[in-house]
Amino acid sequence: MPRENRKRGKRSKKQTVESPVRKEEPDSNNQYAEAGPSWIVSRPEETEELNSEAPFGYVDADVKAYFRTVDTQIRNWQDGEDDAVVEEDQMDPNSEKRMFFNAALTEMTGKEKQLATDPDCSIVLERMAYSMNDFVRRVFLDSLSGSYELLVQHRFASHVCQTLFYVSFDTISRELNGIFPSVPDSDKGELRTMVQLILDICEELLPYLNSLMMNPFASHVVRVLLSLLCPAAFPTSEFQPNLRSKKSSAWKSKQGHLSSLFSDSKGKGNEVRLIKVPPEFDAMARRFVTTTRAELGSNEVRALAASDVAGPCLTMLLHIETLYQMADEENSLMDRMTVGAISESLKENPKDIQPSDYLGTLFRDPTSSHVLETIMTRVSDKPFSLLWNAYLKGKLPRLSVHPVANYVVAKSLERCNSSQLEEVYQELEGSWEKFITSSRTSVLRAAIQRSATLCTLEENAVHALSKAFGLLTLDQMKVLVPCALHLKPIQDYQLLHKNDNGRPKQTEKEDSSSSREATVQGSLLLQTVLKLSEPYNQCVIDSFNALEISERLKISHDASGSRIIDALLDSPTISQKSKRTFVMSFIGHYHELVDDRIGSRVGDKCFAFADTYLKEKIARSVLPHEQALIGSFYGKFFSRNLNLYLLRRRPDEWRSMQSSSKLGSGGGQNKKKGEGEVADAIEDQEMAVVEPQEKFQPEKNKKRKRRDKVDAQGDEIDQVFSLAPVKFKGPGLAIAHNNKGDHLQEEKLKMLDADPSLREVFNAIKSAPKSDGKDRLKKRKKLPV
């Protein structure tokens, strides 16, 4: 026996194998005698069909090793190791990436289903799907036709289908715009478009829709299909490229970012939203809703809300049903979920509905509460009033402090009317303090937000805010900002403030650093209050201005607290005077403000808001600390933005540059009449005075590592020659000016001409005889050389 055919292990004796067969003598009359005993059955084909791990067979070991190499190479390219020839690879079909990718596609042909169900190769197909062109994607989806019912329920192939459906978004968008790839001639038949492929896939999956929504692997694929068929039904914030479970998303994040090999986007900003969809997609989305209605009963639909797997699919179906105005029908999905509230609202004289134990349970269930939030957001006005009276009215104090139900109440407050909002303030009069002590501010924030939207009951909103933190007097309202940021009542904040000063001993609970940091909830609450109209938003501004400069700087350097400043400067309900006072409060401390990662962004925002006069005051206050800012890692960007060198050398040109940048950015378009007139008058007065240029002294022994773009002051040689006087012929007076300040000197000349006291001087100079100069010139020409 050749050595290559020998196998390791013990030899089996022949008698042990043949003895069972020899016990039975062959019967010539038995037709199964040659096949052996009846209890010995060979089922190789059925075993492969019943194999749930590899329903289409296993991938060969050599092929799997090859695709592991493909995965490593593509991952290295996507991680940015070879970014030098990205633009060349986009156009050159003979580039290394193109040839490597095409070879992988050739090897993949005919093995798509086996590779998709393989645990190692499925992620390779997902990574390659982002780099496929429209033609290859259509071929890939077409090769899987007829097997999607098995693929979407597979542990690994379901994610491959999900990724393919997601990347088809931009392909469908191009097809709707009439952009189709060139298809090579082939005898295999006509290749379907991506739109037709998606419709055929939906037709294939519709008979199994209800079982797929309950499948832990297929439900994610159904969500992507619904997002593809009806993108208008889902807000942009809820649309995610990978609608995976948390466990799957955590695993996928370890695989690196997935992006195209032939674009330099590196996975950022690749999210594609379909602006329009073909009419066939609308009809198919309706069929998803009607199929669920027809095949599921009322109790079965309600059971979907309690499922972690099927609940998100039900939420998306409710969005689609509401978009196509199918919810206000009897026996609709919304009607079944609200236990007949839609049917009652369709009557001529609707009566109050009786509270259902089922909906009462949804308020407190962590999973089902998301479905109930969608119901409260999407249901029409009449059923919403019935649900409000049955489940919320009279029960708000208990539901608002519940760890789950408070989110449903907050969503309901986003669409309540004035009378319902007034009931909220009355019912929660004695419960506002509990929201702060329990750190559940969603209901308080939603009530203030609704008052700001409706422009009503704003005084009640401020009263609820002050009572929540125990601020009963005007002096106590000055500590509103620190109390809200730390999310503590005034008594606890004062105790914490005393502990920071070292008076009483800190307890173990108070000693934690988290109790002294600004909270996100408190920051969002103050941002909501700033949306109120004047004078109701003034309490936050006054409280911020009442703080010491060290406290204001500390808030500005905090990631959550700095958002309050953004909301203050961006809010349209706050007057320009209040914003200007706030920006001026940092003058003298801007060098401390911008010497921080967060504070530098706040400083830039304040400087961008200011007018030219205020910008100069800010820049003048920073001038003594210029060297410190240049040496700061974050402050150098703020110093470069101020252009302090130009301000020192040519202040008029600096003012002109700031004025033009302000007008160009549209910052002065929203100014009210009369605001900033004093600043403009001062600026005009300063520009009317012609300041003598300082003598330029070039710095010696100054080394530059790199040459930046030519800025306003130019290089040293240009600055020397720019001081040379050049005659400028104006309408009245010839003055010396710099080459780079022509437009500025023209403005000065116009202002001097506009002065009535100088008109006579201009006219006298203009009418003076010029023959003396010409005669002298003639005499000089006649002199011998």
Write the pLDDT tens digit of every residue in 95-144.
788 888 889 999 999 899 999 999 989 999 998 998 898 999 999 999 99
pLDDT above 90 covers a percentage of the chain that reads 48
- pLDDT, greater one: 761 or 294: 294
Q: Is residue 706 part of a domain?
A: no
Q: Is residue 332 part of a domain?
A: yes
139 and 267 part of one domain? yes
Where does residue 95 rank: exposed (0-12), middle (13-18), buried (19+ CB within 10 A)?
middle
- pLDDT, greater one: 735 or 344: 344
Instruction: Give the mean pLDDT of 154-173.
Output: 91
Instruction: Measure the CA–CA gap between 537 and 529, rounded to whole angstroms.
Output: 6
Report DSSP letters for 538-583, one per residue. Answer: HHHHHHHHHS-HHHHHHHHTSTTTHHHHHHHHH-TTS-HHHHHHHH
Worst-scoring range by mean pLDDT, 187-201, 203-217, 368-382, 545-559? 187-201
Q: Is residue 109 part of a domain?
A: yes
User: In 230-365, which residue ranges form alpha helices assigned H by DSSP?
Assistant: 246-253, 279-295, 298-305, 311-323, 333-337, 341-345, 357-364
178 and 300 part of one domain? no
pLDDT of residue 551 exceeding 80, the answer is yes
Worst-scoring range by mean pLDDT, 89-103, 340-354, 480-494, 603-617? 89-103
Worst-scoring range by mean pLDDT, 41-50, 360-369, 744-753? 41-50
Instruction: Give the mean pLDDT of 66-93.
Output: 68
- pLDDT, greater one: 252 or 10: 252
| Whether the Cβ atoms of residue 267 and residue 259 lie closer than 8 Å to each other | yes
Q: What's residue 187's pLDDT? A: 64
Buried b (16+ CB within 10 A) or exposed e, 752-769: beeeeeeeeebeeeeeee
pLDDT of residue 225 exceeding 70, the answer is yes
Would you say how long the chain is, in residues? 785
Worst-scoring range by mean pLDDT, 165-179, 213-227, 631-645, 662-676? 662-676
Q: Is residue 355 part of a domain?
A: yes
Q: Is this structure's pTM higher than 0.85?
A: no
Whether cis (ω within 30° of 0) applies to the bond prior to 350 is no
* pLDDT band (50, 70, 90) for residue 75: confident
pLDDT of residue 713 exceeding 70, the answer is no
Q: What's residue 207's pLDDT? A: 94
Could you tell me the sign of the dihedral formed by the alpha carbons of 60, 63, 68, 69, in that order?
Answer: positive
| Whether the Cβ atoms of residue 115 and residue 143 lie closer than 8 Å to each other | no
246 and 348 part of one domain? no
260 and 314 part of one domain? no
Instruction: Give the mean pLDDT of 78-107.
Output: 68
CA 194 from centre of chain: 28
The region, left, alpha or beta by phi > 0 then psi within -120 to 50, assigned to residue 256 is: left
* pLDDT band (50, 70, 90) for residue 164: very high
Pairing of strands 735-737, 726-728: antiparallel
Instruction: Give the mean pLDDT of 677-697.
Output: 38
* pLDDT band (50, 70, 90) for residue 475: confident
Closest to 424 in 3D by CA, of 450, 387, 403, 386: 450
67 and 195 part of one domain? yes
Q: Is residue 179 part of a domain?
A: yes
306 and 268 part of one domain? no
Final residue belonging to a domain, choices 319, 347, 378:
378
Q: What's residue 500's pLDDT? A: 61
- pLDDT, greater one: 611 or 676: 611
| Whether the Cβ atoms of residue 753 and residue 731 lie closer than 8 Å to each other | yes
* pLDDT band (50, 70, 90) for residue 352: confident
258 and 337 part of one domain? no
Q: Is residue 216 part of a domain?
A: yes
Task: Identify the helix (H) or strand (E) that includes residue 221.
Answer: helix 218-229
Instruction: Give the mean pLDDT of 61-85.
Output: 78
pLDDT of residue 243 exceeding 80, the answer is no
340 and 193 part of one domain? no
* pLDDT band (50, 70, 90) for residue 269: very low
249 and 308 part of one domain? no
Give CA separation, 767 vs 151, 589, 749, 761, 770, in Å: 96, 56, 19, 10, 9
Task: Give the domain extent around 316.
Answer: 296-378
Q: What's residue 599's pLDDT? A: 93
Q: How many CB atoms lie within 10 A of CB 372?
A: 27
Per the structure, how many domains does the chain have?
A: 3
Geometric angle at alpha carbon 420, from 415 and 426, rounded to 5°: 130
Q: What's residue 190's pLDDT? A: 82
Q: What's residue 170's pLDDT? A: 86
178 and 234 part of one domain? yes
Instruction: Measure the CA–CA gap between 301 and 338, rounded to whole angstroms.
Output: 11
Buried b (16+ CB within 10 A) or exposed e, 474-500: eebbbbbbbbbbbbbbbebbebbeebe
pLDDT of residue 486 exceeding 80, the answer is yes
Final residue belonging to a domain, choices 338, 353, 378:
378
Closest to 125 in 3D by CA, of 167, 97, 174: 167
- pLDDT, greater one: 420 or 182: 420
Final residue belonging to a domain, choices 378, 408, 443:
378
Q: Is residue 252 part of a domain?
A: yes
* pLDDT band (50, 70, 90) for residue 258: confident
The pLDDT tens digits for 724-772 are 544 444 444 343 444 444 554 555 555 555 555 555 555 555 555 554 4
* pLDDT band (50, 70, 90) for residue 661: confident
CA dihedral 626, 627, 632, 637 (to 10 degrees): 40
* pLDDT band (50, 70, 90) for residue 348: confident
Instruction: Measure the CA–CA gap between 358 and 304, rounded to whole angstroms.
Output: 13
Q: Is residue 160 part of a domain?
A: yes
Please state at what angle helix 597-609 crosses helix 562-570, rounded to 10 degrees. Answer: 10
Closest to 230 in 3D by CA, of 272, 282, 162: 282
Helix (H, G, I), strand (E, B) or coil at 420: helix
pLDDT of residue 425 exceeding 90, the answer is yes
pLDDT of residue 272 exceeding 90, the answer is no
221 and 342 part of one domain? no
Instruction: Give the mean pLDDT of 675-701.
Output: 38
Q: What's residue 727's pLDDT? A: 45
Q: What mean pLDDT value characterizes the chain?
A: 77
pLDDT of residue 12 exceeding 50, the answer is no
Geometric angle at alpha carbon 193, from 192 and 196, rounded to 5°: 80
Q: How many CB atoms lie within 10 A of CB 666?
A: 8
pLDDT of residue 615 exceeding 60, the answer is yes
155 and 225 part of one domain? yes
